[in-house]
A and B are shown apart, each in its own frame.
Chain A
Amino acid sequence: MQSVFERDKSRIRLLEPSQTKVIRKEGGALELRYREEVYYPIRVKRAFPLTNPQNYIVFLKENNKQIGMVEDVNDLDEESRKNILEELDVVFFIPQIKRIIWVKERFGSSRWKVETDRGIKEFATRSLHESVKELEDGHIVITDTEGLQYEIKDINSLPRKSRAILGKIV
């Protein structure tokens, strides 16, 4: 109930990078140490996951109350940085496609087999128009029937054969 009476904190609380430590505790959850304060377990979130994934990383308590944020994850020491990025990777999971092995179309839906940075994966999509979106030139996001997204940041970085397969369908 406390929060109802709290006046909103209208200023953001930026943590001083040199005073901020993020430690992975036994069991795998993270602990935040800032000056004298210690928080455990914490959650981390990106404020701008798509446009500025490295900036404004927010720390939250387990009950989603905000603790504060750091302006740039790269300002932190190497271990904290690594821990934060690993943690973000768990809850922001978009595999990057490195190679398309095959695509089979049938009855307006398709099956794909691709190589991603997370290993080989087979998945299915609904109609290509709905599930393959070109955000801007050469930047493609594919959504499968499970709602999982796969990304191709730059179509030109794919091997020639993959590009040919993709070119045939989109």
Chain B
Amino acid sequence: MSLKEELPKELEGLLRGQAIREEDILLAIQSDLDEEGKFSPTWLIATKEKLLIIQPEGEPRIRCNLSLGNLSFFKAEIGVGGGFLSAYSDGRETRLLRFTTATARKFQIAASALGRLAQEGRIPPDILAEDEGRKVCPKCGFPLDPVSGICAQCSPKGVVLRRLLSYIKPYYPTILILISLLLLGTAFQVISPLIIRNLTDTALVPRGPVIPPESVRLTLLLSFVLLMAGLGIGSMLLEIFQQRMYAFLGQTVLFDIRRQLFEHLQFLSVSYYDKRQVGAVMSRVTQDTSALQEFLGWHIPFLFSQLILLIGISLVVLSLNLRIALLVLIPAPVVAYLTRTIGRRIHHLFHRVWDRWSKVIAVLNSALAGIRVVKAFAQEEREARQFSQRAYDLTMNTIWAEQLWATYMPPLFFLFGATPLLIYYFGGKQVIFGTMSIGTLQAFIAYTYMLLGPIQAVTRIINWLNRALAATERVFEILDTPPEVLDEEGAIPMPRIEGRVEFRNVTFGYDKYAPVLHNVSFEVKPGEIIGLVGRSGAGKTTIINLICRFYEAQEGEVLIDGVDIRKVKLKDLRNQIAIVPQDAYVFAGTVRENIAYGKPDATLEEIIEAAKAANAHEFIINLPYGYDTPIGERGVMISGGERQRIAIARAILKNPRILILDEATSLVDTETEKQIQEALDRLMQGRTVFAIAHRLSTLSNAHRLIVIEDGRIVEMGTHKELLRNKGIYYQLVKLQREMSKLVAIGV
């Protein structure tokens, strides 16, 4: 994306009239709405001095002509579907233009670019990140999928498909065997009507001047039946082999993809997960990969075998009797077309049923999960009413769908049966006139029925392909996301960090255009305990995210022991940082595994010592299986305070140089807090500590406090100093004391 889009020819005259040359233009972007909110382009053009809004439609006109020097800042505001860009100058707001959400992002960036232009006289080149902006398909001009970057309209399906097929490459020998088995199986299938034909024509109703004696015919009959039995057994064996191989192939490929996917997910940056819901990512590992497996291991072989069957049947019937063969083959496309059209209608209806089902389930789920609330508010009847309403809706839709199914399917089946009728009539005529044998007629009838399989396969192929392609694209989108940059070239190994942390003019925003931290600078000595104070959203957690290098500063530097954090080997850094978060996470596993998570080779004594120091040993011993008690999902339920102490033990065992306490005691009661605080005090000794706490009393042992507001450091110093200054910290403390007094009195 560029902030200088190509201007239409019609505007040249207008610009010349303003004495603006092509090279004067620093910014030119197009909005998709006009002043009245109609879909019609509007241009925003900026030079060093001027800002123009131009309406090109009809008679091009300049709607707004402002001098940039008078404007101090710009802001794009976005609501539902639409928004506007405004310029501000000493308390005055000037509306520049409107846009829809389709172009909103562009104007957000433009607002920040224009601000810099007004202040500094230029637009810094780095204002645009590479991957920014709405991407449009170069071929058809339609917007690309923002997630996968693929044009839904004309993405090269072949490329995706080929890439998918590359997963079965290692299994080519197996596939070769599969294909030959498939060919053999198809041959057996195609041959069997021919055997029946010969059986009828030679043994049952032989024709010709000389009819063989019954004994010969009986021998023939027996040998044909035996032959068919042989074919049947052969087919069965082939089927067994094939199915076993499909199962192996499909599941192995599925495993390959899943493993690769999960491995890749582990190495993606934290910011990747910020933008996505865990559920959505999970469904890619589970459902999307299953869809791929279904496609590779089941649909492709099925389609392939049906295709071979189609070719085989066509060849045989064409060689048997050309005219009747055409009667078999010509109706096939018609049947295929009808099956698809009707199938789609019915599919839509059943999708609706499915949708209503999920609505019923939603009511069920929320009413049962929230049963206490329902009862507490005495709303049982309303819930029941709502359920019956949704259930009724479901019933009606299901009836409708099933009735439609009942109405459409018999005619369709009749149609399937109609082709054999044609064969009976025209073929039968030939039998009567002696130009065709009864056996051949029988074979034709058999082939007509046999054709139904391939016809149905053809009608489904598009659906299957679509579903598989969508899943493939989603899976590849993950695999194509570059992993977190672990180490720059020449990263410095730091096996032992002293713990000096310094922020130098750090500016950072999760979204580049909305900084959360502004020019933050501070220095922390090794072993110092720092309390971070401020409202939620002030930027405390962001500072911690930068220390852990979950994100990197956009401007300025974060230094660890005087080295830019980007140059420190990430593994060394993270090995020496531990976080005790507000809501400690425990993995599914035993207490022991959870404590030793950061140091899997810890001795039993070390583990117990860590637990002891974390004030966790007591409660662990009282768990049914001691340190071997399973906790986490499906494990024994433990309280928030207990989880917290396990997290602290985990941090103690890791023996970090830098310790981060993110609201570590905010979710527990006072008694537990005391125990945890005790454990934390032990943990903090000799380490650099950053502690965030809303309850300021928990920060009493901090050496220094940093007060942050709106991403800026507003106060810094010891508890006493800050109280003496009577600034923001003083007021916060006063407020909290008053509140706790109120609590104490019981107001």
Cα(A1)–Cα(B93), bound, Å: 25
B81 proximal to A (CB < 8 A): yes
With A118-B37, A118-B38 already in contact, the answer to whether A92 and B157 are too (CB < 8 A) is no
A148 proximal to B (CB < 8 A): yes
Whether B80 contacts A94 by the Cβ 8 Å rule is yes
Whether A147 contacts B101 by the Cβ 8 Å rule is yes
With A4-B735, A108-B470 already in contact, the answer to whether A145 and B37 are too (CB < 8 A) is no
B728 proximal to A (CB < 8 A): yes
A124 proximal to B (CB < 8 A): yes
Q: How far is the CB of A134 from chain B (nearest CB, A)?
A: 8
Whether B143 contacts A27 by the Cβ 8 Å rule is no
With A49-B80, A108-B466, A145-B145 already in contact, the answer to whether A4 and B39 are too (CB < 8 A) is no
- B643: which A residues are within 8 A, CB to CB? none
The segment out of B82-90, B289-297, B441-449, B666-674 that lies at the interface is B82-90
A48 proximal to B (CB < 8 A): no
Whether B731 contacts A1 by the Cβ 8 Å rule is yes
- B91: which A residues are within 8 A, CB to CB? 40
Among the interface residues B40, B79, B731, which one has the most CB atoms of the partner chain A within 10 A?
B79
- 1/0 per position for B137-153, CB-CB distance to A under 8 A? 00000110100000011
Cα(A49)–Cα(B348), bound, Å: 31
Cα(A52)–Cα(B78), bound, Å: 21
Whether B80 contacts A28 by the Cβ 8 Å rule is no
With A1-B728, A108-B470, A170-B348 already in contact, the answer to whether A27 and B80 are too (CB < 8 A) is no
Whether A120 contacts B134 by the Cβ 8 Å rule is no
Give residues of chain A (120-149) contacting chain B, Cβ–Cβ below 8 Å.
Answer: 120-121, 124, 126-127, 129, 145-149
- A149: which B residues are within 8 A, CB to CB? 80-81
- B145: which A residues are within 8 A, CB to CB? 126, 145
With A27-B95, A124-B152, A146-B101 already in contact, the answer to whether A92 and B80 are too (CB < 8 A) is yes
Cα(A40)–Cα(B88), bound, Å: 12
Cα(A118)–Cα(B92), bound, Å: 29
A29 proximal to B (CB < 8 A): yes
Q: How far is the CB of A169 from chain B (nearest CB, A)?
A: 8
Whether A146 contacts B732 by the Cβ 8 Å rule is no
Whether B39 contacts A116 by the Cβ 8 Å rule is yes
- B348: which A residues are within 8 A, CB to CB? 170
B650 proximal to A (CB < 8 A): no
Give residues of chain B (144-167) contacting chain A, Cβ–Cβ below 8 Å.
Answer: 145, 152-153, 155, 157
Whether A92 contacts B100 by the Cβ 8 Å rule is no
A17 proximal to B (CB < 8 A): no
Give residues of chain B (304-353) contacting chain A, Cβ–Cβ below 8 Å.
Answer: 348, 351
Whether B93 contacts A29 by the Cβ 8 Å rule is yes
B352 nearest in chain A by CB position: A134
Cα(A120)–Cα(B82), bound, Å: 17
Whether A4 contacts B351 by the Cβ 8 Å rule is no
With A107-B152, A119-B39 already in contact, the answer to whether A93 and B100 are too (CB < 8 A) is yes
Whether A106 contacts B153 by the Cβ 8 Å rule is yes
- B592: which A residues are within 8 A, CB to CB? none
- B155: which A residues are within 8 A, CB to CB? 107
Give residues of chain B (599-623) contacting chain A, Cβ–Cβ below 8 Å.
Answer: none
Cα(A95)–Cα(B40), bound, Å: 13
- 1/0 per position for B697-715, CB-CB distance to A under 8 A? 0000000000001000000
Whether B92 contacts A107 by the Cβ 8 Å rule is no
Partner of B38, one of A92, A106, A111, A119: A119
Whether B732 contacts A148 by the Cβ 8 Å rule is no
Whether B37 contacts A111 by the Cβ 8 Å rule is no
A12 proximal to B (CB < 8 A): no
Whether A129 contacts B351 by the Cβ 8 Å rule is yes
Whether B143 contacts A146 by the Cβ 8 Å rule is yes
Whether B143 contacts A145 by the Cβ 8 Å rule is yes
Whether B39 contacts A118 by the Cβ 8 Å rule is yes
B102 proximal to A (CB < 8 A): yes
Whether A124 contacts B81 by the Cβ 8 Å rule is no
Whether B81 contacts A93 by the Cβ 8 Å rule is yes
- A49: which B residues are within 8 A, CB to CB? 80
B103 nearest in chain A by CB position: A146
Cα(A55)–Cα(B45), bound, Å: 39
- B101: which A residues are within 8 A, CB to CB? 93, 146-148
With A27-B92, A29-B93, A108-B466 already in contact, the answer to whether A92 and B39 are too (CB < 8 A) is no
- B134: which A residues are within 8 A, CB to CB? 146
Partner of B153, one of A91, A111, A120, A147: A111
Cα(A147)–Cα(B351), bound, Å: 23
Partner of A91, one of B77, B143, B709, B735: B77
Whether B142 contacts A111 by the Cβ 8 Å rule is yes
- B81: which A residues are within 8 A, CB to CB? 92-95, 148-149
Q: How far is the CB of A63 from chain B (nearest CB, A)?
A: 11
Whether B39 contacts A90 by the Cβ 8 Å rule is no
- A1: which B residues are within 8 A, CB to CB? 709, 728, 731
B466 nearest in chain A by CB position: A108
Partner of B39, one of A27, A120, A129: A120
Cα(A77)–Cα(B82), bound, Å: 26
Whether A145 contacts B152 by the Cβ 8 Å rule is yes
- B102: which A residues are within 8 A, CB to CB? 146-148
Give residues of chain A (8-42) contacting chain B, Cβ–Cβ below 8 Å.
Answer: 27-29, 40-41
Q: How far is the CB of B76 from chain A (nearest CB, A)?
A: 11
A109 proximal to B (CB < 8 A): yes
Q: How far is the CB of A124 from chain B (nearest CB, A)?
A: 5
Whether A28 contacts B94 by the Cβ 8 Å rule is yes
Q: Can you report 16 A-B residue pairs in the complex whose CB atoms are below 8 A from each other?
A: A1-B709, A4-B535, A5-B731, A40-B93, A41-B93, A90-B82, A90-B83, A92-B82, A107-B152, A108-B466, A111-B142, A118-B38, A119-B40, A124-B142, A145-B145, A148-B102
Residues on A facing B (Cβ under 8 Å): 1, 4-5, 27-29, 40-41, 43, 49, 62, 89-95, 106-109, 111, 116, 118-121, 124, 126-127, 129, 145-149, 170
Residues on B facing A (Cβ under 8 Å): 33, 37-40, 77-84, 86, 91-95, 98, 100-102, 134, 142-143, 145, 152-153, 155, 157, 348, 351, 466, 469-470, 535, 709, 728, 731-732, 735
Please give me the 9 A-B residue pairs with the lowest Cβ-Cβ distance, nearest first: A91-B79, A93-B82, A28-B95, A93-B81, A109-B152, A146-B102, A29-B93, A27-B94, A41-B93
Given A27-B92, A118-B37, 8 other A-B residues pairs in contact with their CB atoms under 8 A: A1-B709, A43-B77, A91-B78, A93-B100, A107-B155, A107-B466, A119-B38, A127-B470
